[in-house]
């Protein structure tokens, strides 16, 4: 499983009725779901093959298996 950045809009679509945990001062990066620029600070662990980013959108991706 890898860490993936998710923007607020994609979070709302994927994780209805749950509040996200946010990392402070993460800076600008790309959402692994939509590819848009975000400063949400929200990370989700998922298999990179199941997302549009495929584990290549920047430094947030880290193998945590």
CA angle 24, 65, 32 (to 5 degrees): 50
pLDDT at 62: 56
pLDDT at 53 over 70: yes
pLDDT grade, residue 65 (50/70/90)?
A: very low
CA distance 28 to 37: 7
Q: Return d(Cα 11, Cα 63) in angstroms, integer.
A: 21
Write out pLDDT tens, residues 26-51: 688 889 999 899 999 998 888 888 88
């Amino acid at each position: 499983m890898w860490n993936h950045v998710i923007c607020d809009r994609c979070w709302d679509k994927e994780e209805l009725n749950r509040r996200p945990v946010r990392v402070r001062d993460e800076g600008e990066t790309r959402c692994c779901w939509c590819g848009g620029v975000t400063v949400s600070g929200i990370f989700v662990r998922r298999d990179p093959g199941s997302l549009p980013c495929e584990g290549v959108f920047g430094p947030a991706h880290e193998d945590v298996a």
